[in-house]
Structure formats: C-alpha cells, structure tokens
Amino acid sequence: MPSASAHVKIQSLRMVSADELKYWIGFSKIPGIGRVRLYQLKEHFSSLGDAWQAPSSELKRAGLDSRSIDALIALHPKISLDAEMEKLERYKTKALTCEDPSYPTRLKEIYDYPPVLYVRGNLLPQDEPCLAVVGTRRPSIYGRQVAQEIVADLARSGIVIVSG
C-alpha cells in the first residue's frame, strides 16, 4: 500500500482518448488499484493498454503488490472494456479521469481522490453547493424512502446531488 506521503506527479491536464479511457475505467474496477498505483503503471508501461495486457511478473516490476496483481489477474477476464464503454453511452454518462481539465479541482484536494469520476449531466462551477449521498448497499424500505424524499427536496432547492 502506498504511504500517505506518496507523491504522484500529474504530467498534464488533458482529455484522454476513448481508447485510453477504457483502460482507466478497467483499472478503476480493480480493488487495490487507485490513483497512485495507476500512475505507477503509467510510468512503467508505454500505455495503460500495455499494462492491462501485462503478465504478473511485469506488473510486479511496475511496483504493484501481490494482492493488487492477484485482483487484476482474477478480474481482468471478467471486465469487458468495450461493454463498459457501451454502458457509458447507454446511460448518457461521461467518465472523467483525474487528468481531464473538467475534473473538479476541489475534489483533488482530498488525499485519495478517485482516478475516474462518472458524470451524468454537466459539471459547472455554478453547481456548488453540492451534497454527496452515500449509504448502505442494502437500505431498509423506510431508509430508501426517506433518503429519496430528502434528496429530492434538496435537488429542487438547487443543490447538486452527487451519488457515490
């Protein structure tokens, strides 16, 4: 696990190509591979596509620990990158990498900000204030109903709701 003082250099803010984006999305689905490890892979391999196809021995040389490598090897065949891209289209969702100029700058102020954000609609400066809504994956019927009512009232008041 990278230390809290691990520093990751972001080369430049740029939009990534659709081909490169699918690998960002793929790696974001692997437990243990966050922004820091993703940048380790970017530095070691000529592309994230090469990292996605790399054997475990090369992933180890890139600096991944055995738990992350095991997760990648186990989940890699189950993740269809093309299907993930199709889902984005089907649900009218955008995926922003942390290198994208549209990625919220305030989000980058937290220690372990996500390398990929999924956005429906537009991210605009006037969308603040916003509220992130998180909770259990198995809410009670009452809990779900109350959360929906509260979130709907806040959204009608002009507060942007972020689910996550």
How far apart, in whole angstroms, are the C-alpha atoms of residue 87 and residue 81? 10
Percent share of the chain, pLDDT over 70 = 88
How many Cβ atoms sit within 10 Å of the Cβ of residue 41? 23
Which is nearest to 119 in space by CA: 95, 101, 100, 102?
A: 95
What is the CA angle 112-138-141, rounded to 5? 130
Q: What is the pTM of this model?
A: 0.72
Q: 52-106: per-residue pLDDT in tens?
A: 999 999 999 999 999 999 999 999 999 999 999 999 999 999 999 999 988 888 8
Which is nearest to 41 in space by CA: 78, 3, 4, 2?
A: 2
